[in-house]
Structure 1
Amino acid sequence: MKRYTIFLLLLLLQCKPSLSPDVKIIPKPRQYEFNQGTFEINGKTEIIASSDSLKPLAHLLARQIHKISGLKLNVTTAGQDENNILLEFNDSFKEEEYYLDVCENIKIEASNYSGLAMGTATILQLFTLSKDKIVLPRVSVYDKPDYDYRSVMLDLARFWHPVETIKETIDLLWFYKIKYLHLHLSDNRRFTFPMDDFPDLKTLNKDGSREYYTIEELKDLVEYARLRGVAIIPEIDLPGHSTQLWSKYPDVFGSIDPKTNQPVSLYVINMAKEETYQACEKIINSLAEVFYTSPYIHFGGDEVYLEAIKHIPEYQTYCKENNLDVALAGDANELFCHFINRMHTMVKSTGKQSVIWEGFHGTGAGKESIPRDITVIVWNATYNHPDSLVANGYNIVNSTWVPWYMVGAMNFAPAVEKGYQWDITQWHHWDDQFDDIEIAPNQSTLGGQISFWEQNYYKVIPVLRERVPVLSERMWNYTTEPDLEDFQQRFAQTNDLYNKLFRPISIEAEELLHNDDMTFDDIIKVKLTSSTSGKIKYMTSTDWGIPDMKEAVDYDERISIDESAIITAQLFDADGKKIGFPEQRYFRKIEPAYDYTVLGPAPTKGWKEMPDFTKLNVMREGLAGKMTTDRLEKINGELFAKVKSKGHIETRFPGIYNQYAVELSGILKIPKDGTYEWQLQTWDGLAELYIDDKLVAQGNNFKNEPESFSTSHSQGEYSFSIKYYYRQIQNQLSIVYKTAEMQDFEPFEGLVLPLNGEPYE
């Protein structure tokens, strides 16, 4: 630390100190000092790379400058030492340390490429645009993170993600100095890493599109990340979460039932067969070759079902040959730990380190002790307590449910405030059966990770762009007292710059019923604008997916839409090259049927009974429509546990995450006098139905079972309201009805009259 203080003192002699406003950078630098005056980047400024190996970084910085200002800066390895940007190696710095000085020149120093890449991200965040130039404050910065393991995981195996989404995620990580992108490449649903030895793993979607990445695409992503100082950690999840392997190649990864000649449903790969290990080694070697910049390979290790494997013939034979006596006695955990150890040996042979999910117990089982040089990502804290892992000598990474687990299918994305209040010694769970955990500060916790599971590609950036900066801030400046208000002010500035660099297009519509819901009931006019110069092109579609923009049309005037549609817009420069990433909006036409009020927020572990709605905060108000086939398909397209189709009622609202309560109200038309049987069904919540302010149906169980209630009504129109909340993970409400004359239940919405509502602000 002493030598960097000397650096700062020397620079202060060159640039006179100033009492300038605080720095607007995320994460906030460790040491910085503002100096008098400003530095202007103009058309004469050059970027000087002191080494040929730094030219790619210099060109990257030049492209970002050109995107937001139009300036085209020359990149060179030598130049005049005035009004230029200098990128230089300095061996006196440690890993991830960098030094930045904005004075007569902009000078960034670090010992390696990634340190200089972080320095360029800091430079970008200091930019202020002023006509035909960029202005920066004169400032001296010495910086380094408190924690090395700063990571974000994307689940690429549950839902397909276009390469563009992964690249934008990489840019987001670079912009906020996150070191690793962890790619979950395989699960029961898909195996997205191509293996020529196992071609049947290369699956296609129903429309014929690929559900795997090519080697060329993955290598391109690795280089794209390397250029930005980000390393991609690959994960193939084993031995569990591996249906694609043991079901398609049972002779290699599974076991074949001799009676039926069909694959045995093992739910894990066959850890009791040598052929399995030989195939796994091919996978590990391929991962190491493609993801050569990563110091780690992740091979899963979580949620392993061990019952079925004990009943196949290979189990006894293999366990005897390998002296797995505890496994022979019936505890297959010894075989599981044996598998971890063999996989770890394979990873080490490639020169890399092993990472696994928390999944084994204690330090192993039987004679199989898990090596201490395996890093464990602790997420659930139930398979292996973080205190025990630390005490037993393991390095760990904190990826606690709250605030760092994001689960798209659960609509689960803990609030930014929770992330900022979080401490790296803490684990919080969404499930009330698990207690919160706090351990003592230690040297074995390497850092933290956002783990984003079961998400559709179009939710990745909207969720991460608010949460990645928080993770970065807490991992970079752990010893600094957190100041949420200060962070939010800095985020407002960096987020605006992020838009200019990576999301320059804005899509807005007139005559919406609600801007946040993006719903309409007649015709809307859609306006496309850009924060930087260029040509906007767009396409419309009815299904999600990033289309081939070669077929896009030029945007010249507002777009009229009279049916539900997804608009994809892309900015292009004069040479036809893309500027930033595509922007997409889904505008949904509805038949208004309900006035709705969303209330909350819910406690972290959910309400255990129907809350008092009068004591909750209003999160949003608007108009909800009747359920349609298209809407139901899109809802179920985001879920694994599909919602009940008959009687399903709209209780999802774009951009609102985590548990909440909803009140829906409208007008009901009873067609004839008689007795009506109502059935309410929720998956993980409770609902109440009121007709003319009288409670006629009140759910009282969380079992995903219909609950029936009978009431008598005269023909006519009635006001109604529905109170509903979901407790933890599954948002589903369905209401159906039946009279004595009806043979089957019909959707409640068949009785609901349309509303003629006014747009909500």
Structure 2
Amino acid sequence: MLKAVCYRGLRMKHYDLKRALLIFSLFCIAFFVVLFWQQNSAIDEVSQLFPVYKKSPLLKKERKLPYPPQWHWQCNGKHCERQKVAPGVSAVSLSTCSMLCGSTQLWPQPSGPVTLGSKTATFNHHQIQFKADAKEPAATLLNHAIEIFKDKVLDYVQDVNYTVHDTDVEKILVHLKVQHADVVRLRLDTDESYHLTIKSKAHQLSVNITANTFFGVRHGLETLSQLIWWDEYSKGGMLRIIKNASVKDYPVFSYRGLMLDTARNYMSVDTLKRVFIGMSANKLNIFHWHVSDSQSFPLILPRLPKFAKVGSYAPDMTYSPEDVKELMLFALVRGIRIVIEIDTPAHAGSGWTWGPDEDMGELAVCVNKQPWMLYCGEPPCGQLNPDNPKVYEVLETLYKDLLDMTKEDELFHIGGDEVNLECWQDSLSSATQKKYGDFHDLWGDFTLKALESLQKANGGKRIPYVLVWSSNLTKRPYVSKYFNRSNIVVQSWGSSQWPDTLDLIQDGYKVIISHVDAWYLDCGFGRWRETGDAACDPYRTWQTVYNHRPWTQQGVNKKQVMGGEICLWSEQVDETSVDARLWPRGAAFAERMWSDPSLDLNTFSISEDVYLRLNTQRDRLVARGLRPEAMWPQWCLQNPGMCL
């Protein structure tokens, strides 16, 4: 009996427990339903305030839908004045006001006469038609340039549905004419000038771009893309173009270079393409690729694959011959030539250590030697071994690979700076020690042998322009002893206050200017190590870059200045930050090289026009997917003249 009572009590306890669990479960379900409903309601409220925009197949990145205008701009003299939008007032966007008020929004500013009309027209990208008047081989390049231009126009579009709206024109016919179709490779004497006209008739615009070469037409298309913009106030967003224009344009300097170091920090092929996109937008025409250094050797050479095998950071941090070919073509259709530099005899450590394994002896000395401060400018150390005759055989093969890959037979950069004589004195044979009382002469003899290897690699023909970095060897009395004025060009990188550049010009040498105090874009970011000099200061602002005109210095023969080059060494930059380091400072340099505008010699102040045009150019680079540095607060842009 007692057992039965206990059993019934136990069953009742189980029943109560199950009922309690059921009630608890129902309560939890109800709680989560309410929580989920409240969460969705909150999401809906946020969505109304900050809509989620869908990506369109037309657009390469997400775009914002237009909001009702808050401000509009009215041209007053040379300024666009910001005003509140008032009922019944036709609002004018800042972009449209800027294009029509004051100066042009072209960058770089053209060298020749420019006439721009005051009337504009809306259109859509489907209405642009092309007629290319060029024979092969230029015709193929021109077709590529047309497709690139179309992409630039699409980059401006911020609403995929804008084509449903009526436009002011029915057709824009772009006629491209190349006079000399056989010129499909850039050289220093290549004619890059062009003439662009836009004329309106009824509901049609006729655009004509004529040039002697493909490269001139390409520049003309670049300028045409700058006469087009996105007007966010017109029907919620429309493409707009100047209706009448005439631009005659040409570069002041034939060598307009940008140097990028990919040895300290590797940068991908796609990153280099982004650099080319920025260069082409600013009409820079030479990419100086400092591909190797003592830290790494990422370039795969067909005849000497061990360089990259032992010298790259990783197998996927290399550049294959196919990569080089791809980059050459990508650059060519954008008006850029590539000059690859493998620096010698200094800056040669990683990659040069395979000699003993191939019975070639030590190709380099002082590799990773400590304390590094005694043997090189930054770790790791490494310098070619002038005692080893195999070094010159390797250089000949290396140069032949570079010539074959790039097909560049007019310009060739051999490096040649910052040789540490103590490294050689501590590493070379006693016979060499006795032979050279001054190791500058050993350096000079090495250079002569390297130049001989280059000539052999080029089938016995001398390269018309061999580039070398300025150094102690390019100073008196050594420079005239080891460098032939007829084909050696010195890239002068020392301070503009030093006598180096002027001395070279007075001694009859052609120069490319890269003064460290104006055109080194890696400076001003602090030390990256605790020992030794590890940074150049201060930061070179775009104003500093823009104001630098060393060819106006007394005693400089401008005819011997082939051009200039901005330099970005990569100790403290990689592909995540390269855009901001290069732009818009690189654009400021580009205008200095293209048209070399005059400066106020009394104050060296920069006009408001330059600020506004450069900011517009920066916006174009952003539209094309680059991430340039900001120039100023956006308030300054919206209130022209108020910040200067």
Paired position in structure 2 for 1:170: 276
Give, in angstroms, the shift of residue 37 of structure 1.
3.6
- Report the 3-state secondary structure (helix = DSSP H, G, I; strand = E; otherwise coil) of the residue aligned with 1:443: helix
* Partner Cα distance (2:575, 2:492) in 1: 25
1:158/1:378 CA distance change after superposition, 3 Å: same
2:567 to 436, 451, 455: 451
What's the CA shift string for 1:193-247, capped at 9, x where partnerless?
1124444432589995523211111211111111100111111010000012443
Paired position in structure 1 for 2:438: 331
Give, in angstroms, the shift of residue 305 of structure 1.
1.5
1:137/1:274 CA distance change after superposition, 3 Å: farther
**Which range is displaced more, 368-377 or 235-244?**
368-377
Paired position in structure 1 for 2:255: 149
Matched, 1:353 2:469: no
Paired position in structure 2 for 1:59: 147
What's the CA shift string for 1:39-66, capped at 9, x where partnerless?
6554232122222231111121122223
Whether the aligned pair in 1 keeps the contact of 2:119 and 2:243 (CA below 8 Å) is: yes
- Report the 3-state secondary structure (helix = DSSP H, G, I; strand = E; otherwise coil) of the residue aligned with 1:248: coil
Aligned partner letter, 1:279: V
1:367/1:29 CA distance change after superposition, 3 Å: closer
**Within 5 Å, which residues of 2 pair with 1:361-372?**
361-362=474-475, 365=478, 368-372=481-485
**Within 5 Å, which residues of 2 pair with 1:568-647?**
none
1:461 to 579, 590, 600: 579
Paired position in structure 1 for 2:505: 390
* Partner Cα distance (2:211, 2:588) in 1: 24
Aligned partner letter, 2:520: Y
* Partner Cα distance (1:348, 1:71) in 2: 56
Paired position in structure 2 for 1:343: 450
What's the CA shift string for 1:671-717, capped at 9, x where partnerless?
xxxxxxxxxxxxxxxxxxxxxxxxxxxxxxxxxxxxxxxxxxxxxxx
- Report the 3-state secondary structure (helix = DSSP H, G, I; strand = E; otherwise coil) of the residue aligned with 2:403: helix
Paired position in structure 1 for 2:133: 50
- Report the 3-state secondary structure (helix = DSSP H, G, I; strand = E; otherwise coil) of the residue aligned with 2:244: strand
Unaligned runs of 5+ in 1: 1-17, 73-80, 258-264, 320-326, 427-436, 507-514, 517-761
Aligned partner letter, 1:32: V
Whether the aligned pair in 2 keeps the contact of 1:354 and 1:375 (CA below 8 Å) is: yes
* Partner Cα distance (1:256, 1:462) in 2: 36
Give, in angstroms, the shift of residue 113 of structure 1.
2.1
* Partner Cα distance (1:395, 1:206) in 2: 35
Give, in angstroms, the shift of residue 253 of structure 1.
7.1
- Report the 3-state secondary structure (helix = DSSP H, G, I; strand = E; otherwise coil) of the residue aligned with 1:47: strand
Paired position in structure 2 for 1:229: 335
What's the CA shift string for 1:642-675, capped at 9, x where partnerless?
xxxxxxxxxxxxxxxxxxxxxxxxxxxxxxxxxx
Higher helix proportion = 2
Paired position in structure 2 for 1:99: 195
Paired position in structure 2 for 1:416: 542
- Report the 3-state secondary structure (helix = DSSP H, G, I; strand = E; otherwise coil) of the residue aligned with 1:210: coil
Aligned partner letter, 1:64: K
Whether the aligned pair in 1 keeps the contact of 2:364 and 2:384 (CA below 8 Å) is: no
Give, in angstroms, the shift of residue 494 of structure 1.
1.6
Give, in angstroms, the shift of residue 310 of structure 1.
4.7
* Partner Cα distance (1:166, 1:366) in 2: 34
- Report the 3-state secondary structure (helix = DSSP H, G, I; strand = E; otherwise coil) of the residue aligned with 1:377: strand
**Which range is displaced more, 336-345 or 22-31?**
336-345
Whether the aligned pair in 2 keeps the contact of 1:302 and 1:357 (CA below 8 Å) is: yes
The normalised TM-score by structure 2 is 0.64
1:58/1:444 CA distance change after superposition, 3 Å: same
Whether the aligned pair in 1 keeps the contact of 2:579 and 2:626 (CA below 8 Å) is: no
1:178/1:315 CA distance change after superposition, 3 Å: farther
1:463/1:308 CA distance change after superposition, 3 Å: closer
Paired position in structure 1 for 2:592: 474
Aligned partner letter, 1:63: D
Give, in angstroms, the shift of residue 32 of structure 1.
0.5
Higher strand proportion = 1
Whether the aligned pair in 1 keeps the contact of 2:579 and 2:628 (CA below 8 Å) is: no
Give, in angstroms, the shift of residue 271 of structure 1.
2.3
Whether the aligned pair in 2 keeps the contact of 1:363 and 1:392 (CA below 8 Å) is: no
Aligned partner letter, 2:468: I
Whether the aligned pair in 1 keeps the contact of 2:121 and 2:241 (CA below 8 Å) is: yes
Give, in angstroms, the shift of residue 472 of structure 1.
1.1
Paired position in structure 1 for 2:217: 116
Whether the aligned pair in 1 keeps the contact of 2:511 and 2:561 (CA below 8 Å) is: yes
**Within 5 Å, which residues of 2 pair with 1:670-689?**
none
Give, in angstroms, the shift of residue 172 of structure 1.
0.4
* Partner Cα distance (1:171, 1:343) in 2: 34
1:97/1:346 CA distance change after superposition, 3 Å: farther
* Partner Cα distance (2:517, 2:405) in 1: 33
Aligned partner letter, 1:357: W
1:63/1:253 CA distance change after superposition, 3 Å: farther
* Partner Cα distance (1:36, 1:191) in 2: 54
1:473/1:48 CA distance change after superposition, 3 Å: same
Aligned partner letter, 1:119: G
- Report the 3-state secondary structure (helix = DSSP H, G, I; strand = E; otherwise coil) of the residue aligned with 1:150: strand
- Report the 3-state secondary structure (helix = DSSP H, G, I; strand = E; otherwise coil) of the residue aligned with 1:152: strand
Residue identity over aligned pairs, in percent, reads 22
- Report the 3-state secondary structure (helix = DSSP H, G, I; strand = E; otherwise coil) of the residue aligned with 1:478: coil
What's the CA shift string for 1:310-360, capped at 9, x where partnerless?
56666847x9xxxxxxx8242222232223233334445635531110021
Give, in angstroms, the shift of residue 95 of structure 1.
1.3
What's the CA shift string for 1:421-442, capped at 9, x where partnerless?
222248xxxxxxxxxx975353
**Within 5 Å, which residues of 2 pair with 1:238-637?**
238-249=344-355, 252=360, 254=362, 267-292=382-407, 295-310=410-425, 316=431, 328-348=435-455, 350=458, 351=463, 353-359=465-471, 360-362=473-475, 365=478, 368-372=481-485, 373-380=487-494, 385-407=500-522, 409=528, 410=535, 413-425=539-551, 440-453=556-569, 454=571, 455-481=573-599, 483-503=606-626
Aligned partner letter, 1:477: S
Give, in angstroms, the shift of residue 286 of structure 1.
1.2
2:104 to 23, 34, 41: 23
* Partner Cα distance (2:501, 2:439) in 1: 23
* Partner Cα distance (1:452, 1:20) in 2: 36
Whether the aligned pair in 1 keeps the contact of 2:106 and 2:223 (CA below 8 Å) is: yes
Whether the aligned pair in 2 keeps the contact of 1:89 and 1:110 (CA below 8 Å) is: yes
Give, in angstroms, the shift of residue 365 of structure 1.
4.0
Give, in angstroms, the shift of residue 479 of structure 1.
5.0
Paired position in structure 2 for 1:33: 115
Give, in angstroms, the shift of residue 371 of structure 1.
0.9
1:297/1:71 CA distance change after superposition, 3 Å: farther
Unaligned runs of 5+ in 2: 1-98, 162-169, 182-188, 200-204, 232-236, 366-374, 376-380, 529-534, 601-605, 635-644
Paired position in structure 2 for 1:705: none
* Partner Cα distance (2:628, 2:577) in 1: 17
1:96/1:348 CA distance change after superposition, 3 Å: farther
Whether the aligned pair in 1 keeps the contact of 2:584 and 2:628 (CA below 8 Å) is: no
| RMSD of Structure 2 on Structure 1 (CA) | 3.7
- Report the 3-state secondary structure (helix = DSSP H, G, I; strand = E; otherwise coil) of the residue aligned with 2:417: coil
Paired position in structure 1 for 2:176: 87
1:268/1:208 CA distance change after superposition, 3 Å: closer
